């Protein structure tokens, strides 16, 4: 009996490429490799900004593999490629911001026994058994952003909080979601995924009270105070 394998969807292609780009950069950064530390500093400058504003990042976010997909992948049309490139830009620049000055990898794969989606990450910042309304509203505002630029800016604020709390995120999963978010009807799909992962989180896995650092309210959500190797 012959098994027919479904073609790799554009979303999965984007997610796979995001993992392929982030993984070696993260490994090099954690090993204090100078070229990777410098690469993260460049990527961070793009967090919350449109991809076309920073041509300097084109060499770091190489989308070439999407133009020549493998045999098991469905080719992307021109609009798909633009969406994919924008999704990768947002995901990788946010990861670089998240990873800044952290001694462990802030990109971690989402698995059934270790959930790393955005909704779960936001829920982990809350005290066990409680819903922090300001945090929940941040997630809701991200899901209702009118365009990708606004979404990137709202996600940036969430990522700063996750970074302070040392809570990782699956940036390959996020890249795929950001691709889907740009497609017709895709925002509804992604909002549902974020909501499901938020509500599926169990208190036994939550961070302890106080571990998430200062309250998300106020100006503290938009800057950091680290001064180590990559604080530039």
For residue 3, tell me if it sits in a domain.
no
10-14: long-range contacts (C-beta < 8 A, 24 or more apart)? 10/74, 10/76, 10/80, 10/84, 10/179, 11/176, 11/179, 11/180, 12/73, 12/176, 13/65, 13/66, 13/69, 13/73, 13/76, 13/84, 14/66, 14/84, 14/87, 14/88, 14/175, 14/176, 14/179
Q: Is the pLDDT of residue 222 over 60?
A: no
For residue 229, tell me if it sits in a domain.
no
pTM of the model: 0.83
For residue 64, tell me if it sits in a domain.
yes
Q: Is the pLDDT of residue 216 over 50?
A: no
Residue 81: CATH number of its domain: 1.10.520.40
For residue 4, tell me if it sits in a domain.
no
For residue 232, tell me if it sits in a domain.
no
- 72 contacts 5 by C-beta, under 8 angstroms: yes
Local confidence band at 25 (pLDDT 50, 70, 90 cut-offs): very high
The pLDDT tens digits of the residues spanning 52-86 come to: 777 778 788 888 899 887 777 878 899 999 999 99
For residue 174, tell me if it sits in a domain.
yes
Give residue 108's domain range: 10-222
Kind plus residue range of the DSSP H or E element containing 160: helix 148-165
Share of the chain above pLDDT 90, in %: 63
Q: Is the pLDDT of residue 7 over 90?
A: no
Q: Is the pLDDT of residue 219 over 60?
A: no
For residue 131, tell me if it sits in a domain.
yes
Q: Is the pLDDT of residue 171 over 50?
A: yes
Q: Tokens 């133009």 label which residue?
A: 67
pLDDT at 229: 56
Domain count, the chain: 1
For residue 230, tell me if it sits in a domain.
no
Q: Is the pLDDT of residue 186 over 80?
A: yes
């Amino acid at each position: 009996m012959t098994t027919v394998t479904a073609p790799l969807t554009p979303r999965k292609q984007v997610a796979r490429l995001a993992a392929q780009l982030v993984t070696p950069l993260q490994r090099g950064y954690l090993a204090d490799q100078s070229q990777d530390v410098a690469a993260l500093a460049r990527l961070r400058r793009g967090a919350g900004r449109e991809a076309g504003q920073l041509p300097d990042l084109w060499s770091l976010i190489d989308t070439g593999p999407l133009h020549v997909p493998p045999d098991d992948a469905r080719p992307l049309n021109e609009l798909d490629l633009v969406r994919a490139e924008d999704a990768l830009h947002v995901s990788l620049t946010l990861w670089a911001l998240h990873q800044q000055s952290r001694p462990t990898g802030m990109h971690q794969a989402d698995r059934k026994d270790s959930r790393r989606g955005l909704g779960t990450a936001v829920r982990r910042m809350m005290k066990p058994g409680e819903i922090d309304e300001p945090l929940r509203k941040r997630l809701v505002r991200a899901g209702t952003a009118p365009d990708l630029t606004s979404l990137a800016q709202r996600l940036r604020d969430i990522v700063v909080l996750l970074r302070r709390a040392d809570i990782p995120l699956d940036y390959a999963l996020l890249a795929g979601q950001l691709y889907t978010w740009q497609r017709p009807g895709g925002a509804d799909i992604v909002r549902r995924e974020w909501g499901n992962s938020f509500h599926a989180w169990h208190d036994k896995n939550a961070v302890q009270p106080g571990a998430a650092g200062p309250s998300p309210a106020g100006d503290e959500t938009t800057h950091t105070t680290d001064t180590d190797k990559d604080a530039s």
